[in-house]
A and B are shown apart, each in its own frame.
Chain A
């Protein structure tokens, strides 16, 4: 089997395959253009006759559960990243698969972290055929260098839900790590010693996978309340000593920045939002992780306080900062997709206005709307932006795949999308003629805020008009690009071959771009 085939040019002019790992895919056709026909995927009908009437689905071990679930060559195995870098389960699954001699698995995580780098040995020995999910750090490097047997596929959080719902990815076995569960399989992420927050990423898997295993280290008698995951979807439950390391959810960029340059970006962004009238009584915003985004949240809360306003909701990535705003009465609700610290977990458990969401309610593009498009201000990052405002979030200018998409693509549908990014990192310009990989089309990206100037997408005539008398350093994106090149020099084309190693999906399941092998 060829890794990929049928190369075509998509609506953004990128050459992408229609066949990947033997499966058919649709090239990107434009925002909102592709509307699939037919019905959603449905797993096999189950019968209560096949499940214990006393609700006890406990199995002795994860291995036993995987064997009962029929683990065999070529299956699709899904896991989730609500423990972020503290996930303990995914690695165990593939240890078991390796021990059983199972080959060619498709790993379908909602995201991977550096704790998963040990899986490289299973990618090398054929236990895992390829990954469909984010590939960070060492896994990204492995994939970039063309070492994976199959082509990787990266999806946004919403795109992952969409692909499962639409039957594009049929999950054979979903393993859900749950901080608290009952023997029936009801589960939540806010109780128990491993409490980590929302289990929303596992929702699609629970609904659509053929077999669902819930693993917990805190087994409670029925009913486990709240039951974010419903036991009615669950085949087996497993009790282990430790299900995950919740202290590791505070991984990476969840502290407010102390860097003066980033604080300046945050300050400029907040000023722009205020001057453009984007902040008002009842507004909403998306607060990402990352030092700059968190600092912007703090500036927003100051603006709200100064005007005696209140936000209606914050879309988070929650941690102690939005939680403090909720508790100070500066916002009515936190709609939380994933939880970044223990304050976030505590708040979600104790405060009914701190709501755990799933990619279904927030991001799924093949639904009857989702709330991402109702968010007033969305703050996102990017590794590169081109002069047409197209942005990259997965690869670096040197060609290496190093980040996942997360909810980034989904949030582009917010009313005003702002990317506060430095004009250059070390010597590497961030604004270029062409990005290495297009993850988001420029038509959805409204403002680029850099420390040396702010570029507003010409499509946003309303913003340009509102800011025409502003003292903010507003420039064209071409001017910013020229300025970056004057400082850094014009970057050379990185050595990237034609060989495709990963595909980037758009929110509707079409292929927006590919990642090619570096050499």
Chain B
């Protein structure tokens, strides 16, 4: 016999911007909606109207619906309703919130990925304001931050949040569950504006291929065309050994991250601030990513209260060759950006090299020199990248070259 009652969402005194919905399907008696909302006096009518519209959509005529609302936005209410009804009704019908036009935008494969902010996939409150802190990317997480019995409902919330929350230009990322379980997450995100999928605990290139096959399958049925990038996360000894094969498993792999909590556990070590236990893994991941021409990305730093330790961690990470790292609190973003971006000395040096290069090109000289020193092409290339980063991070005016030439 089919279950007739189910629920989704969160309630309680600490819960904000969320709701808890319990539905019991009935044989008769119409709909009985019990709404207990913190915003009853100003949104009670809107909430009731929305709930009835969703019940209409799923053709539910007889049911008891209990809603505990802590100020949830419409996209959250819709996700909770759909999760409950689909638990009860075995339907694949999607009740989709309208997609914001900015959430259709694609991202470039080589964009900055200094910071990516993890957001627990079943906590709407943190998603709504994630974009205002301007991380390079936001990660709606379906993996470790969601309890097993909440994973199903989180997928609906993540899907709606991909469509209807404005992240103010941050790259929209989702961390799916470990393959093969995580393959089930892909239909919830692929057609809904995700820019990049993080694939956790990757140990074999085949896992990346499976993810891509699933994306292509959804692409055919749902009919979408946007590019989806992948970022495998290496979190085990075996993953480290296979890092290069994973990094080159598919052309849409644009970055590779390392996850140190699981990695250190896997090798039987304890994670320390000095991080010598993961030195080999980190340098291996950096080397494999660079060899594959993709971005190496560092693990998160978990002490959200210690900004000085974070700054030191970022400096160490940058010096090893990483291009970015994860963050678990918005306060970490500025520190990460500040220390991954080129510092003033690096910028000044890069400016001199680029100016010398420009002058040599203008004069038709084959050799670039600065003072009495010859400059090799890779040095010029690195200087150009430094300048690009500095401009992108607002540390250098985009017109710096004209200004410098005018001064000269």
Contact = CB atoms under 8 A, between A and B. Distances in A.
Contact of B132 (A451, A471, A488): A451
B73 A260 contact: no
A264 B41 contact: no
Given A261-B129, A264-B132, A452-B132, A494 B42 contact: yes
B74 A489 contact: yes
Interface stretch (B43-51, B53-61, B187-195): B43-51
Given A260-B133, A261-B132, A489-B74, A427 B39 contact: yes
A399 interface: yes
Contact of B46 (A397, A399, A487, A492): A492
A426 B46 contact: no
Interface string B16-54: 110000000000000000000011111111100000000
B44 A427 contact: no
Interface residues on B, range: 20 to 34
A447 B72 CA distance: 29
A425 B70 CA distance: 11
A427 B73 contact: yes
Contact of A487 (B16, B72, B73): B73
Interface in B50-104: 70-74
A489 B45 CA distance: 12
A427 B72 contact: yes
A264 B131 CA distance: 12
B71 to A, nearest CB: 3
Interface string B122-136: 000000110011000
Contacts of B159: none
Nearest to A425: B71
Interface string A486-508: 01110111110000000000000
Contacts, number: 60
A489 B43 contact: yes
Contacts of B43: 427, 488-489, 491-492
Given A398-B42, A426-B38, A488 B73 contact: yes
B329 A260 contact: yes
A428 interface: yes
A398 B41 CA distance: 6
A494 B44 CA distance: 10
A260 B42 contact: no
Q: Is the interface of A mostly helix, strand, loop or mixed?
A: loop
B99 to A, nearest CB: 14
A263 interface: yes
Contacts of B394: 471
Contact of B17 (A260, A398, A426): A426
B132 A397 contact: no
Interface in B349-404: 394
Contacts of B40: 398
A427 B71 contact: yes
Contacts of B72: 427
Contact of B133 (A264, A471, A493): A264
Contacts of B16: 426
Contact of A492 (B45, B74, B129, B331): B45
Q: Which of A426, A451, A495 has the most CB of B within 10 A?
A: A426
A179 B17 CA distance: 44
A314 to B, nearest CB: 26
A458 B38 CA distance: 35
Given A427-B17, A427-B72, A487-B73, A492 B132 contact: no
A264 B331 CA distance: 9
B330 interface: yes
B71 A426 contact: yes
B39 to A, nearest CB: 5
Given A260-B133, A264-B133, A451-B129, A426 B70 contact: yes
Given A261-B132, A426-B70, 13 more contacts: A260-B129, A260-B331, A398-B39, A425-B71, A426-B16, A428-B71, A487-B166, A488-B43, A489-B74, A491-B43, A492-B42, A492-B46, A493-B42
Interface of B: 16-17, 38-46, 70-74, 128-129, 132-133, 166, 329-331, 394
8 contacts: A260-B129, A260-B330, A261-B132, A264-B330, A426-B39, A426-B71, A492-B44, A493-B42
